[in-house]
A and B are shown apart, each in its own frame.
Chain A
Amino acid sequence: MTSRAPRSVRLLAAAVLAGVLSGAHVAAQAIQYERPVQVAPQQETIGGGYVTPDVQRPRPREYWLQVADVGLLAVAMALAVWFVIERRSRAWTLTLTAASLAYFGFYRQGCICPIGSIQNVAVALTDSTYSIPMVVTAVFFMPLVVALFVGRAFCGSVCPLGAMQELVVLKPIQVPRRLDNALGLLKYVYLALAIGLAIRPEIARDFVICRFDPFVGFFRREGFAHMMAIGAGFLVLGTVVGRPYCRYLCPYGGLLSWCSRLATRGVTITPAKELDCGLCAKACPYGAIDRMRAVRKECLYCARCYASCPCEATPGVAV
């Protein structure tokens, strides 16, 4: 069952590669913008002490602030790992989730976003004239590297999209495992599609992940009506099916879950301590506990299992 996803990933990757090779790049043509003659009166001819004001040219956000954001991202992931693996604390994790949602989501308006940067990275790798700032590279790779060692700490309490859904989980049902696995493949299809559309020639390029980001409209508190409706739909669905976007659609989640398969540490249902009571499996809203073991590639680092565990809550019970 678990080996199905990677195989399909390989197939899709081959399809994407074929797309790359067939995509012809159109050289952008330069058009000069020159007036026939410069005739506008300047401040010397206008006289009377008139000084030409500066053209309004607001600068983008300072670069060092963007670097600081990357730093914050790293700190947040480190905290996520610490809260879940060392402290095993649901409360702290939840606090961090809320903080991340507030900062990366509502303050930064969803725009420190490894999910969308998949497309930028794909284009930068295939188009010789396109490059991405270092900040984007860092944002894209850091969560992957973390996942490689300790699993999806980014998803747990850093990603604002995840956090949005995390906070609306009310009465999660357990999605039947087969259905869950089958739906989980969707994200790889989406990933391939997004890459395929992104690496087309410059003017035909489309970044679908961004265009169909269901939650960014909430972060910006404005957006196209249809996307707001889809976002609201995901949130409503999210009350009964834990994190539907993360589990079935998020393309970056696909990459993360792939990396996290290689992780040596992560959320573990400790064989030495456990009572095999199965409370944790019931507590996991994401179907990530399979036969009494946390599945790394599915685990979203929410620490609910620890919170549900009688051994964790009352240390005396553990033998």
Chain B
Amino acid sequence: MSDGITRRDALGRVVRGTVLLGLGSTAGFLINKAEGQVVWQVDTSRCVNSRLGEAGAEVCMLCTTQCVVAQSAVRAINSFRDCGRCYVCPAYYNIRSAVDERGLPSEKLCPRDAIRRTPIGFVDPEDPANNFYEYVIEEEKCDGCGLCVKACREPLGLGSIVLKVRHNLCVDCNRCAISIACPHDALFQHKVADALEPTLARQPQP
């Protein structure tokens, strides 16, 4: 009886050792493969709201409806160095609305009024058309509906506004819920440094 117990114990030890070794080497394999932190990000060159050559396409709102965060973690950003800083920005104004007495469209495009417009540079008080304007997206208000992104897309705008996962809001789902829904496979995990680039395009896999 006592012999039997010892044998069982020994057997248990061997089995446990084997499993431990297995777990350890799997973990070792994964750690060896690890490339640091990765985060989800929208690929500008794939998202139908921002990619080139899609002037006719409808706006896609899945980024705002599919995210697990109620006010989507995907929001619009304006990549300032690419912005034309236009007087009549089609992402700020609804350019199809009637013109008011200032000669500008009477309605704004953003349903949440999340875009701020300010004249910059040497401001000409007489002629507002004679100015550059800065368009800043107010992060707290935006919900990533993509309307302004589509309006800014080439050739109407310069494509400076794009949808981006905001990493301070994103809960970093194991599998981003939007990536499952996105009809254009625009969401992938990227290394943090790449994911912070405003106009990220997915690099070819080696």
Contacts and interface: CB of A to CB of B under 8 A. Distances in A.
Given a CB threshold of 8 Å, the question of whether A touches B is answered with yes
Interface of A: 27-33, 35-36, 38-42, 46-48, 50, 52-53, 55-61, 63, 66, 109, 111, 113, 116-117, 119-121, 124-125, 129, 131-134, 137-138, 140-141, 144-145, 148-149, 198, 202-203, 205-207, 209-211, 216, 220, 222-224, 259, 262, 264
B57 interface: no
B51 to A, nearest CB: 7
A315 to B, nearest CB: 29
A262 B12 contact: yes
B14 to A, nearest CB: 10
Interface in B39-85: 39, 43-46, 51-52, 68-70, 77-85
B4 interface: no
Contacts of B70: 222
B17 to A, nearest CB: 10
Contacts, number: 178
Contacts of B16: 148-149, 262, 264
Contacts of B1: none
Contacts of B45: 31-33
Interface stretch (B90-98, B101-109, B132-140, B143-151): B132-140
B192 A60 contact: yes
Interface residues on B, range: 35 or more
Contacts of B200: 33
A29 B205 CA distance: 8
Interface in B132-170: 132, 134, 136-137, 139, 154, 158-160, 164, 166-170
B168 A137 contact: no
Contacts of A211: 175, 177, 180
A51 B20 CA distance: 58
A205 B185 CA distance: 11
